[in-house]
Amino acid sequence: MTAASDHEFGGVSTDLKLSVVGNYLRQFTIALRPQFEHLWYVDAFAGTGERTVIIPSQAADMFGPGADARIERQRGSARIAIEVEPKFDRLVFMEKRPKHVAALNSLKSSHPNRNIEVIPGDANTAILSMLRNQNTWARIRAVMFLDPYGMTVEWQTLEAIRETQAIDVWYLVSLSGLFRQATRDAEDLDFSKRAALTRMIGTPDWEKDWYQMSRRTDMFGDVDERLARTAEVDDMERYFADRLADLFPAVLPPLRLNDDRGIPQFALFFAISNPKPAAIGLAKRIAGHILKAGISSKVRP
């Protein structure tokens, strides 16, 4: 039976993504609790607080009896953040889908002693408005999780986050979004694809950097000249990493997340907006260690 909080998403890499971010949140509050009174968590694509995983049925074999398919409810990022110890002082959950907003509100109601705010609507608008209304970040340190399905996060949103100098960001960048919108043949790039890429990357330069004229001679000697994308997924990931590194004081090499057929889907980036060397050193140490453990868990047989 389904529930209001049912939210099935992600693939084989979702556990890894949530364990990397969850580990960071724990280490973050342990390290910063003694120095800061105000530790915040902002989940801009918060979902429902839960993740519904369908475990497929298993046929009986020589090793044992079969099992029926079943539904398992696991913790999503919002619930993971609520349960972090030492606790965050404030948790902000942003979410566009009304059904998910309702589930987040009921999660909030079940934690009446916690400072939880649920903001319905588009994450870009909600982030810009939250940041505009916050006069000072001097005594606050925050972690923001940007976990969209696709290419929703606009570059100007990242610029506003960077300006706070107080928010560290985990950003799940959709590589599949980039390579699907940036079609192989430039003739297939329409207005909406170009606009989506430029909104996310923050410059229209990707087009000249990713495409080149190619010349092909067919078996009849006819020459076909066309503008085609020469940038592959690794180049696109590097390009986006360079864009982030131009904006943020520090960015770590991302964790690549593939689907179950091994096709790249996402790159999980960590960017630090505080320019102070001590803050960068601490965040890099914690996140770097967790990301390395994440990468080695992927290659472990």
Ligand X SMILES: C[S@@+](CC[C@H](N)C(=O)[O-])C[C@H]1O[C@@H](n2cnc3c(N)ncnc32)[C@H](O)[C@@H]1O
For residues 159 and 151, give the distance between their C-alpha atoms in angstroms, rounded to a whole number: 16
94 lies in the site for ligand X, by CB under 6 A? yes
Q: Look at residue 228 and give its three-state secondary structure.
A: strand
Determine phi and psi for 113, rounding to 5 degrees: -90, 0
- For residue 176, the minimal CB distance to ligand X (Å) is 13
Q: Encoding tokens for residue 208?
A: 């000249």
141-149, 177-185, 232-240, 280-288 -> range binding ligand X (CB under 6 A) = 141-149
Classify the C-alpha dihedral 281-147-151-266 as positive or negative: positive
Does residue 209 interact with ligand X by CB under 6 A? Answer: no
> Which residue has the closest beta carbon to ligand X?
76
Q: Is 13 in the site for ligand X (CB under 6 A)?
A: no
Helix ranges (DSSP H) in 133-211: 155-164, 175-181, 191-201, 206-210
Task: Establish if 154 lies at the interface with ligand X (CB under 6 A).
Answer: no
d(CA 81, CA 26): 8
Among 3, 4, 9, 70, binds ligand X (CB under 6 A): 9
Dihedral sign computed on CA atoms, order 272, 277, 282, 286: positive
* Choices 92-100, 187-195, 245-253, 278-286; region in contact with ligand X by CB under 6 A: 92-100
Contact between 76 and ligand X by CB under 6 A: the answer reads: yes
Could you say whether residue 259 binds ligand X (CB under 6 A)? no
| Comparison of 77 and 273: residue with beta carbon closer to ligand X | 77
Check residue 118 for interaction with ligand X (CB under 6 A): no
Q: Is residue 216 a contact point for ligand X (CB under 6 A)?
A: no
93 binds ligand X (CB under 6 A): no
Q: Of the candidates 24, 295, 57, 275, which has an alpha carbon nearest to the alpha carbon of residue 166? A: 275
Measured between alpha carbons, how far is 272 from 285 in angstroms, rounded to an integer? 12
| Out of 33, 38, 96, 193, the residue judged to bind ligand X by CB under 6 A | 96
- Contacting positions for ligand X (CB under 6 A): 9, 18, 45-47, 51, 76-77, 94-97, 100, 122-123, 147-149, 152
